[in-house]
Amino acid sequence: MICRFNSLIVNIGCRIIVPFIFIYGLYVIVFGHYSAGGGFQGGIILAAGVILMRLCVDRKTTYKKYPPRMGLILGAIGVIIYASTGIVTMLAGGNYLDYAFLPIQGMDIPDRRYYGILIVELGVALGVFGVMTSIFDSLTKEK
């Protein structure tokens, strides 16, 4: 049995809600250019999906699907994505985090800055997602 509680409502509710939470988190991240949202909020929503799974599903199963040590690794990858974007623009001849110098072929400057913002938001979202799940796993660790 992969369910932690012997309750139909909790198990089926978790099973139905979690995919929609993930989809909504991705939507908030990539729709940050046009509406309220962005990396921080979307990352938190994605982490809420993982935390709901941690609460409802058996510990061994969720730890196999998403290992606890994965959190800090993903957070570090997010920060590295952000910082290396700045270094790439610096190597291309601009200032640090000046997305107008991103080496993307066949694109004018506003579009480069648009995609620079998108890359940076993805980095922020990955960092926030990993760190939030890591904090939750640290707090609920079994002795």
Partner 1 sequence: MKWLSIILVGIFAAFLFYAEVDMPAYGDPEAPGSVHVSPEYIERTYEDTHTPNIVTSVLADYRGFDTLGETTVIFTAGLACYLLLGGWKRHDM
Question: Candidates 3-11, 17-25, 50-58, 59-67 — which segment interacts with partner 1 by CB under 8 A?
Answer: 59-67
Contact set for partner 1, span 100-129 (CB under 8 A): 110-111, 113-114, 116-117, 120-121, 123-124, 127-128
Output the DSSP codes for 41-55: HHHHHHHHHHHHHHH
Q: At a CB cut-off of 8 Å and minimum separation 6, what does 27 contact?
A: 37, 42
Residue 9 CB, nearest approach to partner 1 (Å): 29
What does the CA dihedral 54, 56, 62, 63 come to, rounded to 10 degrees? 50
- Cβ atoms of 85 and 58 closer than 8 Å: no
Cα separation, 75 vs 92, in Å, equals: 26
Residue 44 CB, nearest approach to partner 1 (Å): 10
Binder of partner 1 out of 23, 67, 103, 104 (CB under 8 A):
67
Cα separation, 134 vs 68, in Å, equals: 6
Residue 67 CB, nearest approach to partner 1 (Å): 5
Supply 90's token pair.
């610096």
The site for partner 1 (CB under 8 A) is made up of 32-36, 38-40, 63-64, 67-69, 71-72, 75-76, 78-79, 82-83, 86, 96-97, 99, 110-111, 113-114, 116-117, 120-121, 123-124, 127-128, 130-132, 134-135, 137-139, 141-142
